[in-house]
Structure 1
């Protein structure tokens, strides 16, 4: 769930997001700690697939399960074909509007990762995502959420303010969410915010744990 842009060094069948390429290493640094004892991770909204091929081989103790709307699967699989990993799984069809919690042969998920989804999808879908994660993660399960967030209703940078305006012009139901609203939503579904990491380019990674 990222804005896709062409890249001269990337074949046409592989969608490319410069933002993904820029933020992979900082996100990995957080996940290496947050997912250190995790074994089955569901990525909600795998987008281009770039995060999955970067994270999976660098987190070899876990299985990385991708998921997204079916129309994004070809691009994700194109990345998987060129950068395979034994712990990387092909995308599941997952739509926050209607899909039930996914099941896999690898077992139940004990962690969830999502990047740049909360400001893209409408707020009711953010609510449903948190409800599903809260209902299905086991006690001690970890939910890591990456993206831009507001604090106390205020933008953290002029660039985020401009990005929010662009999002709302494109889709009035989208927009940068308040961190406090996500924290409250987590609490509603048994997910405690345990870490809030500052990231490059005015982004954050919120780490929730199922209580």
Structure 2
């Protein structure tokens, strides 16, 4: 950690494997909306490694200030000013983008917020766009590991609205929002990178 900036060890651990996948997806000039920028560690690395992108950081109004110091220190020309985004508000502050990236948000949001996130993205995602969602996910009600099972229990003990989401539910949710799960990449630490694209399966 440098200069006492907000810091996430999980971000530090997963950012290189995520970047490797994103470079193949975000492979042309365009704007990426990041939902849940948090500390800004992903934003800085990804914007630095992919200078052809405009990176739009965003976070819930209660957390949007957390990434400010890191983004200001990085001073990258392709990182836009952070915006406050509450996915449950129909009027998003960012209406146009080519891609969306979000890490470790679906299990923190309530299920209704997850639904609203997918709906909001589906309404705005262009035909050649993609929504990349990173995190731990269950499959047909089964945890992928003992560590994910413990993590799920920890989340639900903290707040009843939180918990690891199931791929079956997310696939159905995407389809209701006009998207399909096009890619499902295994990632380190029993996580996955899900890539949703517009259209029917």
TM bucket by the smaller chain? over 0.9
Gaps of at least 5 residues in structure 1 are 1-8
CA distance in 1, matches of 2:22, 2:70: 21
Conservation of the 8 A alpha-carbon contact between 1:49 and 1:79? yes
Unpaired runs of 5+ residues, structure 2, are none
C-alpha contact 2:136 2:191 (8 A) present in aligned 1: yes
Of 66, 69, 73, the residue aligned with 1:82 is 73
Equivalent position to 2:160, from 161, 172, 191 = 172
Corresponding residue for residue 115 of structure 1: 103
Q: TM-score, normalised by structure 2?
A: 0.95
Aligned residue for 1:71, secondary structure, equals coil
Q: Does 2:57 align with 1:62?
A: no
Give 1:200-211 correspondences, 5 Å limit. Answer: 200-211=188-199
Q: Against the structure 1 CA distance between its residues 196 and 38, is the aligned structure 2 distance closer, same or farther, given a 3 Å change threshold?
A: farther
Pick aligned residue for 1:94 from 81, 85, 88: 85
Give the Cα–Cα distance (whole angstroms) in 2 for the partners of residues 153 and 95 of structure 1.
Answer: 28
Equivalents in 2 of 1:41, 1:180: separation in Å? 26
| Equivalent residues of 2:61, 2:84 under 8 A apart | yes
The DSSP-based 3-state class of the residue aligned with 1:156 is coil
Distance 2:94 2:107 in 1: 26
Check if 1:188 corresponds to 2:176: yes
Change (3 A) 1:167 1:38: farther
Q: Partner of 1:154 in structure 2?
A: 142
Q: Kindly state the Cα deviation for residue 141 of structure 1 after the two structures are TM-superposed.
A: 1.4
Q: Which moved more, 1:89-98 or 1:69-78?
A: 69-78
Answering whether residue 117 of structure 2 is matched by residue 129 of structure 1, we say yes
TM-score, normalised to structure 1's length?
0.90
Q: How many residues align?
A: 199
Comparing 124-133 with 61-70, greater Cα deviation is found at: 61-70
Give the match's secondary structure for 1:88.
coil
C-alpha separation in 2, matches of 1:116 and 1:175: 11
In structure 2, the residue matched to 1:139 is: 127
